[in-house]
């Protein structure tokens, strides 16, 4: 299927947001036309009507018109408020990821997009998703700013070094949709694109089953945590641990040295790995070494996914059939006795979360990100 729209050269409407964005867009155009035409017409009309007929003529006295002035104040006020409310509604819809979405990690890099599914499938410059499912992208970049943009979904978001940003959408019809980088990022910026393949659920299940490859993010993170990076030697839990216990912390408030409190979200976990000294948990010494430069963004995503899984948060994954690899693994079982409220990350969990989890918080001002 190719681009078809009721407006020429307009991208297809292929997500639940599309009609909202388009409605707002055409409303703005209609308002612009509705004001421009009378204004231009009035310029010509008055230009003729009040043209100079004789030199130094004395004009008639002008009188105020309350009715006229009230009308031209109230109409623009109402119009601008509808624009504001419409824009705010669409904005909050788009940038508040739902908690029941299927989570996919995206890493931008000059000049490609790397996607990783919760079930372990990896793709480059392609993204396969099922139709009619909420998809949440957790995105970061290895180098410079990029911007993930799917015109047919009418949504985009910057992908920022050193932090996570989020994008979510629900595709409404199967098809192949162009994906772009929408932030100039160097020589091959224009080539940094690809395709989103929206598939029926059964086709998607087949795709998942046919592309089993590599570790899931949780498995990758577990391997790093327990073996390759040796995190477990301090963080395994137990009485004499030098590091904070990580089971069950995700989504909780954490008290830091100095009295500050932060929410243990993706950004906090990431920052604790890269700038451990900047947000030390109360009761612990700032002895953890930084892992900046030692882990790739993909590995960081894995570590975040693993630490989330210790709190029972696995992120919904794609398949519905048993042929696709199950999302949960042994790592989650140990946490299954945790209270269920640990599974509710904050809904407004956007990239620039609260000041407490800002990676550029004062204590990390020596970092060079």
Residues in contact with ligand CUA by CB under 6 A are: 108, 111, 146, 181, 183-185, 189, 192
Provide the minimum distance between the beta carbon of 182 and ligand CUA in the complex, in angstroms, as a whole number. Answer: 7
Provide the minimum distance between the beta carbon of 108 and ligand CUA in the complex, in angstroms, as a whole number. Answer: 6
77 vs 184 by CB, closer to ligand CUA:
184
Cα dist from 161 to 135, 144, 145, 323, whole Å: 22, 6, 6, 36
Provide the minimum distance between the beta carbon of 177 and ligand CUA in the complex, in angstroms, as a whole number. Answer: 18
139 vs 246 by CB, closer to ligand CUA:
139
182 vs 305 by CB, closer to ligand CUA:
182
Provide the minimum distance between the beta carbon of 157 and ligand CUA in the complex, in angstroms, as a whole number. Answer: 13
76 vs 186 by CB, closer to ligand CUA:
186
Residue 153 contacts residue 134 (beta carbons within 8 Å):
no
Integer Cα distance of 230 and 236 in angstroms: 10
Residue given tokens 């009418």 in the structure block: 154
Provide the minimum distance between the beta carbon of 180 and ligand CUA in the complex, in angstroms, as a whole number. Answer: 8
Provide the minimum distance between the beta carbon of 137 and ligand CUA in the complex, in angstroms, as a whole number. Answer: 15
Provide the minimum distance between the beta carbon of 143 and ligand CUA in the complex, in angstroms, as a whole number. Answer: 9
DSSP per-residue letters across 238-300 = STT-SS---TT-TTSEEEBTTS-EEE--HHHHHHHHH-GGGSPBTTS-S-PPP-TTTS-HHHH
Provide the minimum distance between the beta carbon of 110 and ligand CUA in the complex, in angstroms, as a whole number. Answer: 7
Burial degree of 3 (CB within 10 A; 0-12, 13-18, 19+):
middle
Q: Dihedral, CA atoms, 17, 19, 22, 23, nearest 10 degrees?
A: -120
Integer Cα distance of 120 and 327 in angstroms: 9
98 vs 186 by CB, closer to ligand CUA:
186
Integer Cα distance of 221 and 226 in angstroms: 8
Strands (E), 39-125: 102-109, 112-117, 122-124
Integer Cα distance of 44 and 22 in angstroms: 33
153 vs 207 by CB, closer to ligand CUA:
153
183 vs 205 by CB, closer to ligand CUA:
183
Q: Is the peptide bond before 111 cis (omega within 30 degrees of 0)?
A: yes
DSSP 3-state percent helix, strand, coil across the chain (nearest 5):
35, 20, 45
Among residues 312, 300, 242, the alpha carbon closest in space to that of 274 is found at 300
Distance from the first to the final alpha carbon of the chain: 43
24 vs 144 by CB, closer to ligand CUA:
144
Residue 154 contacts residue 91 (beta carbons within 8 Å):
no
Provide the minimum distance between the beta carbon of 230 and ligand CUA in the complex, in angstroms, as a whole number. Answer: 34
46 vs 184 by CB, closer to ligand CUA:
184
Provide the minimum distance between the beta carbon of 237 and ligand CUA in the complex, in angstroms, as a whole number. Answer: 40
Strand order in the sheet with 155-159: 126-130, 193-199, 175-181, 146-150, 155-159
Give per-residue burial for 252-265: e unless 16+ CB within 10 Å, then b: eebebeeeeebbbb
157 vs 192 by CB, closer to ligand CUA:
192
């Amino acid at each position: 299927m190719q681009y078809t729209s009721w407006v020429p050269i307009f991208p297809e409407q292929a997500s639940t947001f599309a009609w909202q964005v388009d409605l707002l867009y055409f409303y703005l155009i209609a308002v612009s036309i509705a004001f421009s035409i009378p204004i231009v017409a009035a310029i010509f009309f008055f230009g003729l009507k009040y043209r100079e007929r004789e030199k130094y003529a004395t004009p008639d006295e002008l009188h105020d018109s309350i009715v006229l002035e009230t009308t031209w104040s109230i109409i623009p006020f109402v119009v601008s408020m509808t624009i504001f409310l419409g824009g705010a509604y669409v904005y909050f819809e788009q940038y508040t990821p739902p908690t029941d979405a299927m989570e996919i990690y995206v890493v931008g890099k000059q000049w490609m997009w790397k996607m990783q599914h919760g079930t372990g499938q990896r793709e480059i410059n392609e993204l396969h998703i099922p139709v009619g499912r909420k998809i949440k992208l957790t995105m970061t970049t290895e180098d410079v700013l990029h911007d993930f943009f799917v015109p047919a979904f009418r949504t985009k978001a910057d992908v920022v070094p050193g932090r996570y940003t989020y994008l979510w959408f629900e595709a409404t019809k199967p098809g192949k949709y162009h994906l772009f980088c929408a932030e100039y990022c160097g020589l091959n910026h224009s080539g940094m694109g690809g395709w989103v393949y929206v598939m029926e659920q059964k086709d998607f299940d087949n795709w998942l089953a046919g592309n089993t490859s590599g570790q899931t993010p949780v498995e990758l993170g577990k391997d790093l945590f327990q073996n390759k990076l040796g995190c477990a030697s301090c963080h395994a839990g137990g009485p004499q641990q030098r590091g904070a216990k990580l089971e069950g912390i995700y989504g909780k408030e954490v008290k830091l040295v100095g009295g500050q409190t932060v929410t243990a979200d993706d950004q906090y976990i990431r920052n604790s790995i890269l700038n451990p000294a900047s947000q030390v948990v109360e009761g612990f010494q700032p002895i953890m070494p930084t892992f900046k430069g030692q882990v790739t963004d993909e590995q960081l995503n894995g570590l975040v996914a693993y630490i989330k899984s210790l709190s029972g948060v696995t992120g919904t994954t794609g398949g519905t059939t048993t042929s696709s690899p199950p999302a949960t693994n042994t790592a989650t079982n140990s946490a299954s006795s945790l209270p269920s409220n640990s599974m509710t990350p904050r809904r407004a969990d956007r990239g620039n979360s609260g000041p407490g989890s800002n990676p550029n918080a004062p204590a990390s001002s020596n970092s060079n990100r």
